[in-house]
């Protein structure tokens, strides 16, 4: 089956919306420069919270969730069957490879949470709960994310049994997020990955 104009629009809209990286925008607007120059170099919630402050990190998280949600909902509107998945996927890629910021974005975890919220709030809450659980157990933000994503294919079968492609989608996104976090895995093995802490490390030197 060919690609329709609606499909193309959803992908373009989702990607461009995902490319609006709020971590970079907020870090610069707050007078702290580009967050990618500090800490992990990641343009996402955890690096903003760690190097600029928790309140900024919270704002970034909410906005990243919102853009994933909007992209998925627009996709659902134009293509009721699978448009929610297509628009959400495009936003995830846009967040990771933002055209407006030289293709250097964040890891897309919060954006994925927004996509799940558009699909089914129960799946989104299970994902958020698993993510927080594994963060508390491992004390690594990255480990919480890449372990938490695997709850999605399991609960999708329970909450959305008629949405048969959803578990496969969850598995695919899970592996994509594992790929996005490959440098975190390397640092965890080397014991250089910082653990979750409420202590502010303002503009700490960027680590490899």
Q: CA–CA separation, 114 vs 201, rounded Å? A: 28
Q: CA–CA separation, 105 vs 35, rounded Å? A: 10
Q: What is the mean pLDDT of residues 86-109?
A: 96
Query: What is the C-alpha end-to-end distance of the chain, expressed in Å?
Result: 44
Q: What is the mean pLDDT of residues 102-113?
A: 94
Is the confidence at residue 193, as pLDDT, over 90?
no
Cα–Cα distances in Å, from 170 out to 31, 81, 116? 38, 16, 10
For residue 184, the model assigns a pLDDT of 86
> Which has more pLDDT, 137 or 206?
137
Q: Which residues of 83-96 are buried (b: 16+ CB within 10 A; e: fewer)?
A: bbbbbbbbbbbbbb
To 5 degrees, how large is the angle CA 30–CA 33–CA 38? Answer: 115
Is the confidence at residue 198, as pLDDT, over 70?
no
**Percent of the chain at pLDDT above 70?**
93
Q: CA–CA separation, 190 vs 195, rounded Å? A: 13
For the stretch 142-183, pLDDT in tens is 899 889 999 999 999 999 999 999 999 999 999 999 999 998
For residue 49, the model assigns a pLDDT of 86
> Which has more pLDDT, 19 or 191?
19
For residue 165, the model assigns a pLDDT of 96
Q: CA–CA separation, 91 vs 173, rounded Å? A: 12
For residue 200, the model assigns a pLDDT of 60
Using 50, 70 and 90 to split pLDDT, how confident is the model at 46? confident
Angle between helices 141-148 and 182-190 (to 10 degrees): 130
Is the confidence at residue 202, as pLDDT, over 70?
no
Cα–Cα distances in Å, from 65 out to 19, 186, 202? 13, 27, 24
Q: CA–CA separation, 95 vs 177, rounded Å? A: 12
Using 50, 70 and 90 to split pLDDT, how confident is the model at 53? confident
């Amino acid at each position: 089956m060919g690609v329709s104009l609606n499909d193309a629009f959803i992908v373009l809209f989702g990607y461009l919306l995902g490319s609006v990286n709020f971590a970079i925008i907020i870090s610069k607007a707050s007078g702290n420069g580009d967050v990618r120059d500090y800490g992990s170099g990641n343009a996402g919630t955890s690096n903003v919270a760690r190097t600029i402050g928790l309140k900024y990190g919270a704002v970034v998280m909410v906005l990243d969730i919102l853009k994933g949600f909007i992209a998925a909902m627009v996709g659902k509107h134009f293509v009721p069957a699978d448009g929610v998945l297509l628009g959400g996927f495009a936003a995830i890629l846009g967040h990771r490879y933002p055209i407006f910021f030289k293709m250097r974005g964040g890891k897309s975890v919060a954006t994925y949470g927004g996509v799940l919220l558009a699909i089914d709030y129960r799946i989104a809450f299970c994902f958020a709960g698993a993510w927080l659980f594994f963060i508390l157990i491992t004390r690594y933000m990255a480990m919480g994310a890449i372990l938490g994503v695997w709850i999605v294919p399991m609960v999708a079968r329970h909450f959305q049994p008629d949405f048969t492609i959803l578990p496969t989608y969850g598995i695919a996104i899970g592996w994509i997020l594992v790929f996005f976090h490959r440098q975190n895995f390397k640092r965890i093995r080397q014991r250089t990955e910082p653990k979750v802490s409420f202590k502010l490390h303002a503009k700490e030197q960027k680590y490899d």
